[in-house]
Amino acid sequence: MMKNFKKYTLIACSLFTLAACDLEIDITNPGLITEEKPDRPQAGETITYRAQVWVEKNDMEELYGGERLFRQNLEALFRNTTTFWNESTNKFDYRFEWAMGEGDDNLVIYDIKSGVKSQAEYNVYKDKAYGTLNTEKYDFVLFLALRCTKGGLSCGGGGASKQSVVQAYFEEGHDIFAKKWPEKGTYSDLGHEYGHVRGAQDLYQYMIPAENNPVSHVAYDYPKCNMGTGYQEWSDYCSAIFNHNAQYKQITADMTRSTYPKQMLVRVTKDGKPVQRATVNFWGSRATFRDIYAEPGNSPYMKKKTDANGEFTINDIYRMFIPDYNNTPNLPPKSPVDEFPFSRWYCFVVEVELDGGQTKCVWLSDLDIVPEYLDGGQQEPYVFEIQL
Ligand SMILES: [Zn+2]
């Protein structure tokens, strides 16, 4: 896994019963879509994402009654996840189905040893799950470690065939098949991970309490979502991303970029009239810290001034949120302690400086920008108006 750690950024997430869920996204190499664009499916169509499942032989036999029974339970687990996905409140254009692929190798049975095993022992095989995948038959990998010393769910990106790998480690005594929809269970925790497979962020990173916001001293009003801020609900952001990415079975960083409009026109008005030469500061929020990064004495991430029309343009919205770390000033340090986890901003407090030292602050979030853009409510450039 060290190999993947070097290439991909790791996102830690911990709202779940299982303590940890990480997302690794390739943000260092946006890459290019070289494949031909598949046709956009018809609205209402069922789109199936097919898993190749990896399981340890002794776990399957000692805990789950052998292959035949395990396969049956696994099919039911996928059906529960599919129900969870589609029955959660959403704005989906399609029905999304999660299932095992149909090849002979849809269940890869690896063999370590009997009894409890360490993460390191499992990881030898988990690394292999990042190898070549037959994408004619499978879209992603579900790697199961069912008798581990330490539990935790995560989603990694960037397999050899661009596949995501959902890594699911469970401690002794946890029956992954015990809970059924609508009760919260392993199938719904996996449903959250599949949200990462389809390109969604952990939304709990946007839970910024008022005390962590030294600029405007208010909490961020995040949407409820299966991505960590609610249960049995998909935010508009996730619905828009899943719809947009629906026909792509593997998701690249390039696709993440394509969910953002390119340019933003920021306009400051008062009583409908443009406010000229207003200074506008952008303060970003970070993962893990869940705060607005504004240490005393720090410059804002961006400082802009409106022109004679009360406007200015931001040329690359994606890069505003996900900056090129080494070529962008005013970012939190990455060492000795990583104060900028995942090397991206989540949302911004936008602060307009007024006469007499007063300020007016508003939120700017990609949880609003992305769905507004993808649903066609906003086009290029994305217009962000601040009314004083
Ligand atoms: Zn997560």
Q: What is the mean pLDDT of residues 8-15?
A: 42
C-alpha 127 – ligand 1 centre gap (Å): 20
What's the confidence (pLDDT) of residue 70? 98
What's the confidence (pLDDT) of residue 253? 75
What's the confidence (pLDDT) of residue 5? 38
Greater confidence, 253 or 369?
A: 369
C-alpha 97 – ligand 1 centre gap (Å): 19
The pLDDT tens digits of the residues spanning 315-362 come to 999 999 999 999 999 999 999 999 999 999 999 999 999 988 899 999
What's the confidence (pLDDT) of residue 255? 86
Q: Does domain 2-204+232-237+247-253 have CATH number 3.40.390?
A: yes
Q: Is the pLDDT of residue 28 over 70?
A: no
160 closest CA partner among 193, 138, 190: 138
C-alpha 382 – ligand 1 centre gap (Å): 28
Q: Is the pLDDT of residue 257 over 60?
A: yes
DSSP label of 283: E
C-alpha 188 – ligand 1 centre gap (Å): 12
What's the confidence (pLDDT) of residue 1? 35
C-alpha 265 – ligand 1 centre gap (Å): 32
What's the confidence (pLDDT) of residue 38? 67
> Residues of CATH 2.60.40.1120 domain(s) within the chain?
260-387
Give dist(CA 208, CA 34) in Å, integer: 38
C-alpha 70 – ligand 1 centre gap (Å): 26
C-alpha 238 – ligand 1 centre gap (Å): 13
Residue 21, classified by CB atoms within 10 Å of its CB into exposed (0-12), middle (13-18) or buried (19+), is buried
C-alpha 25 – ligand 1 centre gap (Å): 12
Backbone angles phi, psi at 89, to 5 degrees: -50, 130
C-alpha 197 – ligand 1 centre gap (Å): 10
C-alpha 228 – ligand 1 centre gap (Å): 7
The two tokens of residue 124 are 């030898």
Instruction: For domain 260-387, give the CATH number.
Output: 2.60.40.1120
Backbone angles phi, psi at 173, to 5 degrees: 95, -10
Got the DSSP string for 82-110? Answer: HHHHHHSB---SSEEEEEE--STTSEEEE
C-alpha 13 – ligand 1 centre gap (Å): 5
Residue 41, classified by CB atoms within 10 Å of its CB into exposed (0-12), middle (13-18) or buried (19+), is middle
Per-residue burial over 296-324, b if 16 or more Cβ lie within 10 Å, else e, is eeeebbbebebeeebbbebeebbebbbbe
C-alpha 20 – ligand 1 centre gap (Å): 8
CB atoms within 10 A of CB 386: 21
Q: Are 316 and 298 in contact (CB under 8 A)?
A: no
C-alpha 202 – ligand 1 centre gap (Å): 5
DSSP label of 292: B
For helices 186-197 and 67-87, what crossing angle results, to 10°?
A: 70
